[in-house]
Structure 1
Amino acid sequence: MRHGSIPGARGRVRPLRLLGDPVLHARCAEVTDFGPELASLVEDLFASMYAAHGVGLAANQIGEPVRVFVYDCPDDEDVRHLGHVVNPRLVSAGGVVVRGPEGCLSLPGLEAGTERHDEAVVEGLTAAGEPVTVRGTGFFARCLQHECDHLEGEVYPDRLGGWRRRRVLRQAAKASWNRPGPLAESL
């Protein structure tokens, strides 16, 4: 395999936006330009995801408020799923609802039991503008739903209620990566 064909090999690692950053809490815009800037963004997303040891990353997590995410994620049978989706739409989430541990690169070191469907189907486009359908089960279905949520301006604590939500927000407010701001002030 040539160096240039490895996802992220030509990308640059960008700083991750953390919980409380306004870009994470606003719906992202549709991509309309499928040129070299989009291809470069996809490369940067892969490079940034790998540098942070993640399994998925949405564009707004590196400060780009557009509808793109990348993934390199196993399913529950350890089958690797690798790719990206531009202008994704979660067209189906079904199967059993499972509460499982969920983390996020924008809340480093934290996780909480979050309910997700164990089957998901996402439709969208590649960076070249070709239609793509991605089907996931188990952990990979969780990843697809999580990344689609990011592009809607949601982070996984938004899906939590009661003590789970309060606990993760308290932990985030006390985390070494958190800077003073609206989140800390709201607790």
Structure 2
Amino acid sequence: MAIREILTVPDPRLREVSKEVPEVTDEIRALMDDMLETMYAAPGIGLAAIQVGEPLRIIVMDIAGKDEEPQPRYFVNPRIIDPAEETAPYEEGCLSVPDAYEELERPATCTVEYLDYEGKPQTLKAEGLLATCIQHEMDHLEGILFIDHLSRLKRERILKRLKREAKLKEKAGSAAALVAE
């Protein structure tokens, strides 16, 4: 297993629509293992393959609390089949949009069909945080970020801050390189 780099905005790869996985192979399982290790190290509760530069319809997550046993979940080619009309608010954040958190309304429950770690078809009825996390990660598979659900003003404020921080990191890296010479 290996920790991979997590792509952050404005990386254009985050806007790619992910492709179906033809079958769950050892290579796909190795990717899911890397994704889970990357997610835990970040730390986060969900990660889509596109966030590590792999445009495949794969999601990993673990919503267990800090004092609970890990409960990793793997979703290959997930598909929501009946989102509830009733919505619920949750404060969301994203490993690809660092240090940005906003409350969003999403369907309170949903049923998802997917292939598990072994490639077996599964159906899961999700509610609460699990339903929110599944929907958030599935947005990534369509090239959608949670900030796309925000008002234009909130989204632009977050993007402006991230661009400013990226420039500061770039300048700090350049300065460090000059000192090293």
Using the TM superposition, give the Cα deviation of residue 179 of structure 1 relative to its aligned residue in structure 2, in angstroms. Answer: 7.6
What's the C-alpha RMSD, in Å, of the aligned pairs? 2.4
| Structure 1 Cα separation of the partners of residues 141 and 51 of structure 2 | 9
The answer to which of 104-113 and 48-57 deviates more is: 104-113
2:56 pairs with one of 53, 60, 66:
66
Q: Cα–Cα, structure 1 residues 96 and 177, in superposed 2: closer, same or farther, change >3 Å?
A: farther
**Is 1:138 aligned to 2:128, yes or no?**
yes
Q: Cα–Cα, structure 1 residues 178 and 30, in superposed 2: closer, same or farther, change >3 Å?
A: farther
Using the TM superposition, give the Cα deviation of residue 139 of structure 1 relative to its aligned residue in structure 2, in angstroms. Answer: 1.4
Q: Cα–Cα, structure 1 residues 141 and 73, in superposed 2: closer, same or farther, change >3 Å?
A: same
Using the TM superposition, give the Cα deviation of residue 80 of structure 1 relative to its aligned residue in structure 2, in angstroms. Answer: 7.2
Is the contact made by 2:18 and 2:57 (CA closer than 8 Å) also made in structure 1? yes
| Structure 1 Cα separation of the partners of residues 79 and 168 of structure 2 | 31
1:152 pairs with one of 129, 135, 142:
142
| Structure 2 Cα separation of the partners of residues 125 and 149 of structure 1 | 18
Amino acid at match of 2:79: R
Matches within 5 A, 1:69-88: 69-74=59-64, 82-88=72-78
Structure 2 unaligned residues grouped into runs of 5+: 171-181
Is the contact made by 1:112 and 1:168 (CA closer than 8 Å) also made in structure 2? no
| Structure 1 Cα separation of the partners of residues 43 and 131 of structure 2 | 19
Q: Cα–Cα, structure 1 residues 79 and 118, in superposed 2: closer, same or farther, change >3 Å?
A: farther
> What is the match of residue 119 of structure 1?
109
| Structure 1 Cα separation of the partners of residues 147 and 84 of structure 2 | 21
**Is 1:103 aligned to 2:93, yes or no?**
yes
Cα deviation code 1:157-181 (max 9, x no counterpart): 111124332332333333348889x
> What is the match of residue 8 of structure 2?
18
Cα deviation code 1:55-81 (max 9, x no counterpart): 000000111010000010149xx9975
2:28 pairs with one of 38, 47, 52:
38
Rg larger in structure: 2
Aligned length: 168
Cα deviation code 1:61-102 (max 9, x no counterpart): 111010000010149xx9975311101112122153233311
Structure 1 unaligned residues grouped into runs of 5+: 1-10, 181-187
> What is the match of residue 164 of structure 1?
154
Amino acid at match of 1:164: K
Identity across matched positions, percent? 35
